[in-house]
Homo-oligomer: A and B are copies of this chain.
Amino acid sequence: MRWKKYDKDAPHSYTFGVFPTLELLRYQTLRVVEVILHSQGERNEGIDKIRALCQHARIGCEVNDRLIERLSPKENTYAIGVFQKYYPKLAPTGNHLVLVNPGDMGNLGTTIRTMLGFGVDNLALIRPAVDIFDPRAIRASMGATFQLAFQYFESFDAYRAAFGAHHVYPFMTDGAVSLPDADFQPPFALVFGSESSGLPAEYHAYGMSVRIPQRPAIDSLNLSVAIGIGLYAATETRS
């Protein structure tokens, strides 16, 4: 079977690189269709691990330099995992992160890594939103995507209809409470808008809006940084 460049409407996607491919094989073994290797990666320690995982799970593993060069946008890609897309559900009692209209693949991937770092493993994406299965988003997450539950919703109201018991904390530059004073009650939903425009004013009404205290010297923090600070503060425990 010959694979084509990533298409958001296709039923499969790709991991580009050894590390994300290892994460795919570890956490979504049953979704893997096959693994393609580059002959120049033969001495890479990660490639040995990939071969072992494929053999153990009886997943096809082929060396095909031309196919890798055709599929991957970057040079020096030594491994590509081909996998079936899948559609998990959010844990009803877990803490959630909600991204309203996320537009940047890099920020999305970085955010997924941060979520796992702080044990918040459920991500709601409110449309319009970037494609979590786009290989660029998976690469930016370094494969952390494969440990995550995620779900798309047509609107924030649709999310609320599905998870009405969550305590909602919209992060807004004019939020009612300063982050160090916020008291996060589980299960919580931390809500962030897009990099360019943040959340519209009506989000104040959805819950206790939170502001990250910051100097007027800059317009706003980078979205990935703001989300990291929110996740840290909401899950912070002192000993």
Contact = CB atoms under 8 A, between A and B. Distances in A.
Interface of A: 110, 113-114, 116-119, 142, 144, 147, 178-181, 212-215, 217-222, 224-226, 228-229, 232-233, 236-239
Given A222-B110, A228-B221, A232-B232, A214 B180 contact: no
B225 A114 contact: yes
A233 B225 CA distance: 13
B142 A238 contact: no
Contact of A117 (B144, B147, B215, B224): B215
A225 B180 contact: no
Contact of A229 (B119, B147, B228): B228
B217 A117 contact: yes
Contacts of A233: 232
Contacts of A110: 222, 224-225
Nearest to A236: B180
Contacts of A116: 215, 217-218
Nearest to A222: B110
A238 B218 CA distance: 22
A73 B231 CA distance: 35
A50 B178 CA distance: 35
Instruction: Name the residue among A144, A147, A214 with the largest chain B CB count within 10 angstroms.
Output: A214
Contacts of A225: 110, 113-114, 224-225, 228
Contact of A180 (B117, B213, B226, B237): B237
A222 B114 contact: yes
A100 B215 CA distance: 25
Contacts of A212: 232
